[in-house]
Structure 1
Amino acid sequence: MMKIHQIGFIFCILASRVVAVTSSHHSDTQVQWGTCDPSLVNDTSLSCGFLNVPLDYQDPSVGNARLAMIKANATGERRGTVLFNPGGPGEATFAVVNQYKELLLEVTGGAYDIVSWDPRGVGKLTIPGDTFCFDGIEEYIEFFNGTIELKGIEEIGDFSDPADVDALLAQAPEMQKKYEDIGNKCLRGSNGKFLRYMGTAATVRDMVSIANVLEGPDVPINYLGISFGTVIGASFVNMFPERVGKVIIDGVLDPVLLATKEISTHFWHQLVSVDTIYKALITGCALTGPTGCAAASEGDGALDIDAKVQALLRTAYEAAKVNTSAPLTSGLIRTQSFFQMYTPPNWSSLMNEAYPEAVQIIKGEAPGNLSLNRKSSDPTSRSSLMRRVLRDSPSYSAPAILCADSVDLQGTTMADVFNGIIEGTRKASHMFGAGWYAEFYQCSFWPVRSVERYQGPFNKKLANKIIVGSNTYDPITTLAGAQKLTSLLGEDAVLVRLNGFGHTAIVGEPSACIRQTYSAYFTNGTLPAHNTVCEVDADFEVFAGVYTGDILAHLPGGDI
């Protein structure tokens, strides 16, 4: 995916291979469960352990990886194990299981041990763990000082001003050079020798190894994966269709797109629903009024709220044109607020806390530390930029995994990436298309591909039928992606949809219908009807006195 002019990287590309699927029986014979590291897990009912697996399942002489694992015990009569992955990629699983243990046990009926693991390339305890390419945050900030990596992309009106197009494209050579340099830095870093052993195919094989040790090599494998965990799930059911037990994948990132296209130039296809979710946000704000939303005035409709947000973006845009050190740019507002579209339970705080702060910052009445970067209740909702800035040393785990899976380098330039972003603002998302979602734009310049990539097909005949879940309006894993995968799997998959907003059906908004549907499947094998539609819980308030049904009934039409 990168323009090949760095001869030192070519050996990594030529060494990459797409291999036939074979069994994954190489692993330790047991897991010794014990107390979890209290710095990572505060729930003492959870237990942790390790499992050694081959770095390269086709060449065990390369050595072993060590997987850090966490387990929540079944609360009822135990029927086996459900393996769980919360997505990312690059998101450590221990904190997610620690936070969502009760929900995970509920949706599996309490009949299974929930076992998750930090995949290779993730976390503090798995080896190889997090990928660090800078010595510290100071080096990272100095390296990207003055660039869109830290400031975001400045534009107004879908790049309707040719000057904005020219200004962005003028930065392409510098940004391409920086991303190529990052690849070199990562290769020289502590994880450099491991980068070619990361990726989804290896993670799937690791998952099978875990199941073999915990339940036996011939036992059907049960799995729950959300967000990027659906890429793992879609690959698993097609790499090992004969091992498929009870599987739910929720919030589908189109595996065919990832396997066959450059995500850096096609990422905008994932944004087709996010402007509708923004409309839901401002509609809820208008419906609750000034007592429940700081952006609302008496009598405001959704379009009035939008006019205020657009005025804020324009003020930030104009301030950045005058002052290159402006503390809060329109690009940063877009990028950071995009991730708040993931979690409607946070929208009241967003509009009552972060929005007034942004107004004050841009007016010069407050320091430039917008609360949009607060940790969300959804661990998948923080941008890579915020995850990096909030750590002592910036992590490159997400691109290390995502780009390891990517198609071969295509000679794509950063100008091509920028033109894709411009196209995305016009075809997919007027509001968020110009956000700088760094990990998705690096793969055209990442020097390494995994030694094994699963690139399809995704229509295998499965040993058991699975559930594919989706929200109607998901900001990054679209309903269309879930429908596509369900169609490919034919009679072996049923689609369940939550009629609401946010990222994934299971955590976007609360729904007893979703939880009960998933639980019935895991506990009794009960499959819902294909295209089952669940509603959000009727008592869930998005804003004070405003419910999801109210917002759905009042969404404005047309573009924003």
Structure 2
Amino acid sequence: MSKKLIVAVVVVWALVLAGGVGIGVVLLTRGDDDSGKPGADGSTPPSTKTQGPDGRTIEDFYQQKLSWSACGSNECTTLEVPIDYQKPGDGSIELALERTKATGTRIGSLVINPGGPGAPGTSTVRDAQYYFAPELMAAYDIVGFDPRGTGKSAPVDCLSDSALDAYIAADPDPDTPEEVKQAEENSADFWAGCKARSGTLGGHVSTVEAARDMDVLRAALGEDKLDYLGFSYGTRLGATYAELYPENTGRLVLDGAIDPSLSSRDGALSQAAGFETALRSYVQSCVDAGSCFLGDSVDAGLSTIKGLLDTIDKEPLTTKDPEGRKLTVGLAFYGLITPLYAKDNWSYLDDGLKAALDGDGSTLLTLADFYGSREGGRYTDNSLEAISVINCLDDPWSITPDEVPGQFSDFEKASPTFGKVFAWGLTACDGEPFTSTDEPDLKIDGSGAAPIVVLGTTRDPATPYKEAVAMAQQLESAVLVTREGDGHTAYNKGNSCIDDAVHAYLIEGTVPRDGLKC
């Protein structure tokens, strides 16, 4: 798989897992391990310091100094933050940091977040040259951090790798009583695993707490203001920071913005419609090119894809996977949506669908593995687990499985292809054992913050354009910049108008015109 696909997908991690897609899971338990060493299944227990009250205050964390050391061509260190900001003396965790130094005249540190929630920011910095233009890298130290509970920052843990394989392979639209019963059991096992493996930490990985961590990071970096570039879920994190610390908000750019006021249900409907739009755009492009292998119209092409998914649901496809795995309908779903994140990746979807229609699920399986950060038979991060824990802390609302059919009409109207999958996602937080204790009902308007640049793409599948419009309306100091086009997020996607606007603000402090269209 090429680096080109890595850029297009990883940096803009989808929210779709927040809906509980892949609800099926077979839990394989292991004993607690507080040693910090990898467990027998390759997972790493949270790295915490929880020896009890130590008398520290918030100010103690703010006064820490970072000690950077070489890691490859970059520099790495850790930042210590309290597990619970309401009780800062009750223990701490360490956040993994990585930075690439400015290549030109440095103006400061630019903190970044690639999305998720669950995607580690350090890996984005490791491949910074693919994500950020040379102008930005010349002006700033690009600083990435793995948000609490993710990557190497005290990662939450719910499942062994083999159980996670079963989780993501499960039917995201259980359509028989047996499948529904299994889904309920799997969901219960997932949350029981999270509670057993993550303990107290599982209740302290909310977006509000991650935003508080960013202010400690700002201070440790020696910056009076936080300059920040966030993608996808990273826009929610950035907007939350602006709400909590408006006086410390510097130049914020929020790309692929999320409407922070949406309920879980409305957010799922919005995203279902977004992926339907993206899929239709993909099929339309195939039809327009002539001799489309999917059919001679958009409706015909969509029918072909739905028929393929139905066939795989009945009988998973064989693959060339060295482990002998088959392409289940759950894996086919992830393989299908992954290339929709960027138009440049549509050729991968062509290859995957053509092969699957011929009975070979190998390419779609590779794409699904890419989505789940699975390489060499193991998962390289915990993003598939962290996303559910974080989202359910932020908004624990859910419905029970027997209420799902009542949602089908609205969701299939929003997305004839994916509607039922997203409707089932509304059960994601059913049985979630954690409760947020830090501003769980925070209302976001960013009053008092410096200008915030909100970027939206008109045919964005994961964060539909209307959500960027809504975020810009809700943030008092926001300006909206629009990219006309396909794919998720706008910056560094070959649109010079967008890039110029971002660079003018982050580097020179020039605020783009509100309503600018590129």
Q: Is this contact kept in 2: 1:84–1:224, CA < 8 A?
A: yes
Partner of 1:345: 344
Select the residue among 286, 302, 309 that pairs with 2:305. 309
List per-residue Cα deviations over 1:479-503 (Å, max 9, x = no partner). 111111111124x111011101111
Query: Max radius of gyration: which structure?
Result: 1
Which residue type is aligned with residue 479 of structure 2?
V
- In the aligned structure 2, how far is the partner of 1:179 from the partner of 1:53? 31
- In the aligned structure 1, how far is the partner of 2:381 from the partner of 2:256? 30
Partner of 1:104: 132
Matches within 5 A, 1:116-155: 116-124=144-152, 126=153, 128-129=154-155, 131-137=156-162, 139-140=163-164, 150-153=170-173
Which residue type is aligned with residue 524 of structure 1?
E
1:314, CA displacement in angstroms?
A: 4.5
Q: Is this contact kept in 2: 1:50–1:66, CA < 8 A?
A: yes
Which residue type is aligned with residue 387 of structure 2?
A
Partner of 1:5: none
Partner of 2:392: 403
- In the aligned structure 2, how far is the partner of 1:220 from the partner of 1:438? 42
1:173, CA displacement in angstroms?
A: 4.5
Matches within 5 A, 1:188-267: 188-189=196-197, 191-216=198-223, 219-257=224-262, 261=263, 263=264, 267=268
RMSD: 3.3
Partner of 1:354: 352
Partner of 1:526: 510
| Change over 3 Å in CA distance of 1:266–1:319 after alignment to 2 | same
- In the aligned structure 1, how far is the partner of 2:479 from the partner of 2:510? 11
- In the aligned structure 1, how far is the partner of 2:410 from the partner of 2:375? 24
| Change over 3 Å in CA distance of 1:134–1:474 after alignment to 2 | same
Partner of 1:474: 460
- In the aligned structure 1, how far is the partner of 2:143 from the partner of 2:458? 29
Equivalent position SS for 2:475 = helix
| Change over 3 Å in CA distance of 1:329–1:136 after alignment to 2 | closer
Equivalent position SS for 2:186 = helix
1:150, CA displacement in angstroms?
A: 1.4
Mapped pair 1:502 → 2:483 = no
1:74, CA displacement in angstroms?
A: 1.3
Matches within 5 A, 1:439-458: 441-458=427-444
Give the % identical residues: 28
Q: Is this contact kept in 1: 2:79–2:217, CA < 8 A?
A: yes
List per-residue Cα deviations over 1:327-377 (Å, max 9, x = no partner). 5455543343123211211101210x211221122xxxx4x434353379x
Where does structure 1 lack aligned partners over 5 or more consecutive residues?
A: 3-21, 37-43, 155-163, 321-325, 535-560
- In the aligned structure 2, how far is the partner of 1:513 from the partner of 1:393? 34
- In the aligned structure 2, how far is the partner of 1:104 from the partner of 1:286? 33
Number of positions where the alignment pairs a residue of Structure 1 with one of Structure 2:
456
Q: Is this contact kept in 2: 1:92–1:123, CA < 8 A?
A: yes
| Change over 3 Å in CA distance of 1:59–1:388 after alignment to 2 | farther
Q: Is this contact kept in 2: 1:25–1:209, CA < 8 A?
A: no
- In the aligned structure 1, how far is the partner of 2:380 from the partner of 2:171? 19
- In the aligned structure 2, how far is the partner of 1:64 from the partner of 1:233? 23
- In the aligned structure 1, how far is the partner of 2:433 from the partner of 2:390? 12
| Change over 3 Å in CA distance of 1:328–1:498 after alignment to 2 | same
1:120, CA displacement in angstroms?
A: 0.9
RCO higher in structure (CA 8 A, sep ≥6)? 1
Select the residue among 367, 391, 394 that pairs with 2:379. 391
Where does structure 2 lack aligned partners over 5 or more consecutive residues?
A: 1-18, 21-56, 317-324
